């Protein structure tokens, strides 16, 4: 997304203008050239993570938006499963194939969950936002806890 015509610093100041002290003052005192903007991007996971004796893990194979805070966790799980698969396999290629088969379903599930939460979080219609916030306060805190337990209970 391009910067606002007034510049990146102005854009950030507008986003944080109502925040508590010292946030707006810190932004104001920051040199505009040092304010970085890195848009989050999403894409579907690769159909195949590797070939022969080469494979990928983490975001290289299955990027996950930051909405559930699991991107780095998925990469760590990948590494653990990769080691387990390679040690149990007769060859590197077989180990890499077993690792991918072991991880594909879980990483796809966490990626879908992250995209769904991100989409809901981006709603802008005030009625939809009010409804989302109401339901979240009343119901989803328990549901989210149960879903996160499924994420955290995974054993590689």
**Sign of the CA dihedral running 76, 80, 85, 91:** positive
Spatial separation of the C-alpha atoms in residues 16 and 33, rounded to whole Å: 18
Whether the bond into 23 is cis, omega within 30 of 0 = no
- Is there a domain that residue 135 lies in? yes
Q: Which residues pair with 125 in a beta bridge?
A: none
- Is there a domain that residue 82 lies in? yes
- Is there a domain that residue 44 lies in? no
List of the chain residues with pLDDT < 70: 140-148
Whole-number pLDDT of residue 140 = 64
State in Å, rounded, how far the first CA of the chain is from the last one: 38
Domain encompassing residue 23: 1-39
One domain, residues 96 and 135:
yes
Give Dmax (Cα) for the chain.
60
One domain, residues 56 and 82:
yes
Whole-number pLDDT of residue 139 = 74
Whole-number pLDDT of residue 138 = 79
For 27, the enclosing helix (H) or strand (E) is helix 23-28
One domain, residues 67 and 96:
yes
Q: What is the pTM of this model?
A: 0.69
């Amino acid at each position: 997304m391009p910067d606002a015509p007034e510049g990146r610093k102005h854009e950030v100041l507008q986003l944080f203008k109502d925040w508590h002290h010292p946030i707006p003052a810190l932004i104001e005192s920051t040199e505009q050239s040092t304010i970085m903007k890195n848009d989050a991007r999403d894409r579907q996971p690769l159909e195949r993570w590797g070939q022969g004796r080469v494979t990928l893990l983490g975001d290289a194979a299955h990027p996950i938006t930051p909405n559930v805070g699991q991107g780095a966790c998925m990469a760590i799980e990948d590494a653990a499963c990769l080691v387990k698969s390679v040690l149990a396999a007769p060859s590197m290629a077989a180990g890499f194939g077993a690792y991918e088969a072991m991880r594909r379903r879980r990483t796809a599930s966490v990626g879908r969950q992250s995209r769904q939460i991100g989409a809901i979080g981006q709603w802008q219609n005030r009625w939809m936002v009010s409804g989302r916030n109401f339901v979240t306060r009343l119901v989803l805190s328990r549901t989210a806890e149960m879903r996160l337990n499924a994420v955290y209970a995974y054993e590689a």
